[in-house]
A and B are shown apart, each in its own frame.
Chain A
């Protein structure tokens, strides 16, 4: 279990980004539910924590694909693959995340490949 942040520091409608590799974000919905998903959009490197939460969906701030916070499913292109979902627990006012064992669906990292070629 990885500690994220105190529940009191995460108001409804906001997200907390865990700086792990790959990053994971915890969302506190307007309805008061907590969800954790991979923070990176599966289409292009963008932080979903910077996106917009509506109900139990988060909209990517770059190209408007929406991810379901409960299931990780994506609603429409340009993103095509789901994000992973992670288990969230609250103990003594602290939010914890238990990471999924599945393989993440990360966007193609052109920059890394290019760096390899140019190095």
Chain B
């Protein structure tokens, strides 16, 4: 064995710099987050016309809102006049219009320039032409996705296609009726790690038996290290004694009626590149969005979705939430423990992936492809 060849059991990871170099992160922002479909909000957060959220997508701030006709709209959060940031709050509500706090250029919820000082003296300034610059939007599974590309890629191929690749068909996820579920809990994690470490962690289960004792208790097959994401259409089966997907294996909440018999008592996990993870269990759905903010920092927002009557009646979902909240904390601790090692001299050429992690190699190839860089091995 030479220093550059690896035994057959192992394949190489990305080099350490891929997780630490701000220039590489900037390329990822440009070539991945600003060109692909990016999930920004739960549709139900935008409760009525004028409700808004601002979200950083790549290097851009995006304003997501609901127009008078109840349609979801997204715009660059930048005034067309002199470039001031229009909305600085993370979320809020305007009555009728977005107004720039600098010179009071005022935009309707449909993005049109409604008013500006002396505007009537400038009849040649088009109200649409100088309106807010729109961004493509789509709603699916009760979530809002935006795409900053001038010509957005096919949502069906890029987003729905990822689910089809994992589950076999889109119907498998649609049976959970996610758009009509209610948010029973939302937890936001501030993770001091590169976004790719988080994705890689979600993709493999080699770590499960070591850091996820509760999860492995509920899903005993996780002890063999093969993730639910390893096989197409496979859902990990609950242990025999396990009543529900809860921190102590006790009974869960009311089963989602659309869930098929062969999906019952099973856990499915899906990664929708570049920033969404979905976990499906019979009584709830766990939906993660990652917001990469720096080369070594990622905000993860996670929703637990239940049948509306479960949430409305105030049923106790805490044991259910606690299971995956613990899993998340265990995972993010591991990612944070890994981040400093990425800049070690010892890790300059990266590490290795064992056979049950080899599918992560496909993720690395994908990153190279998006950035137009050569594969390291």
Contact = CB atoms under 8 A, between A and B. Distances in A.
Interface of A: 17, 23, 39-40, 44-47, 50-52, 61-63, 111
Given A46-B116, A61-B97, 7 more contacts: A39-B120, A40-B120, A45-B120, A50-B114, A61-B114, A62-B106, A111-B118
B374 interface: no
Specify which of A47, A50, A52 lies most central, judged by the most chain B CB atoms within 10 Å of its CB: A50
Contacts of A63: 104
A46 B97 contact: no
Contact of B115 (A17, A23, A61, A111): A61
Size bin of chain B's contact surface: 10 to 19
Contacts of B106: 61-62
18 contacts: A39-B120, A40-B120, A45-B118, A45-B120, A45-B121, A46-B117, A47-B119, A47-B120, A50-B114, A50-B115, A50-B119, A51-B115, A61-B106, A61-B114, A61-B115, A62-B115, A62-B116, A62-B117
B15 to A, nearest CB: 54
A62 B220 CA distance: 62
Contacts of A61: 97, 106, 114-115
Given A62-B104, A63-B104, A46 B96 contact: no
Interface centre among B96, B104, B106, B115 (most CB of A within 10 A): B115
A51 B106 CA distance: 10
A32 B47 CA distance: 31
A57 B106 CA distance: 19
Contacts of A46: 115-117, 119-120
Nearest to A49: B120
Interface string B70-114: 000000000000000000000000001101000010100000001
Nearest to A44: B117
Contacts of A62: 99, 104, 106, 115-117
Contacts of B97: 61
A62 B269 CA distance: 49
Nearest to A40: B120
A33 B366 CA distance: 64
Nearest to B106: A61
Contacts of B96: 52
A111 B120 CA distance: 14
A114 to B, nearest CB: 12
Contacts of A44: 117
Interface string B108-139: 00000011111111000000000000000000
Contacts of A17: 120
